Amino acid sequence: MDIPFGTHTRTQARPAPLRYSRTWDDAVAGIGDARDAVAALLARVRPAPTRRSVQDARLVVSELVTNVAKHAPGPCTLSLELLPGAGALRITVSDTSTDPPLRRPPDPRRVGGHGLHLVAMLSRALEVTWLPHGKRVTATVPLTAGQG
């Protein structure tokens, strides 16, 4: 049986999920790179997230990597993953410290120590997973599509 040209069933390739991963020997060097990586990854999302969503995600990654720089010796790994439907960005930061991240009591007079409050406020979910030699902190930041 002859099948006319153009009537063959085509399988549409699914786009590869948007992901990013990087490890730094020194987390301090990674803070700016981490913010830039979030912006670059989210610039590829269609429909594009709102400017506010991108700023929130950049702030969350900055706070998480800064905490590693302040409190954990050794390397830091960042993983970014756009969740299906582009509704959220999963930000995962792994470090070598076995100390849990601590939210300090709110104190408007204190300089610093507010990062985890910001992360929790801007994230849909925040979880800590203990690893054999450290921990993994994962924040899921909701993304809102912009009008375009």
Question: Over its length of 148 residues, how does the chain's per-residue pLDDT go in tens digits?
Answer: 555 555 555 555 556 679 999 999 988 889 999 999 999 999 999 999 999 999 999 999 999 999 999 999 889 999 999 998 889 999 999 999 999 988 888 788 877 777 899 999 999 999 999 999 999 999 999 999 875 4
Contact 78, 34 (CB under 8 A): yes
Give the end-to-end CA distance of the chain in Å, rounded to a whole number.
Answer: 47
- pLDDT for the residue 6: 53
Q: At what angle do helices 51-71 and 27-42 cross, to 10 degrees?
A: 160
DSSP 8-class letter at 86 = G
Kind and range of the H or E run holding 140: strand 134-142
Give the Å distances, CA to CA, from 41 to 20, 36, 74. Answer: 7, 9, 26
- pLDDT for the residue 148: 46
- pLDDT for the residue 147: 55
* pTM summary value: 0.85
- pLDDT for the residue 13: 53
Integer Cα distance of 140 and 93 in angstroms: 12
Q: What domains are defined for the chain?
A: 19-142 (3.30.565.10)
Contact 61, 123 (CB under 8 A): no
- pLDDT for the residue 74: 85
Contact 57, 50 (CB under 8 A): no
Tokens 């993953």 -> residue: 81
- pLDDT for the residue 16: 64
Tokens 């950049």 -> residue: 58
- Determine phi and psi for 57, rounding to 5 degrees: -65, -40
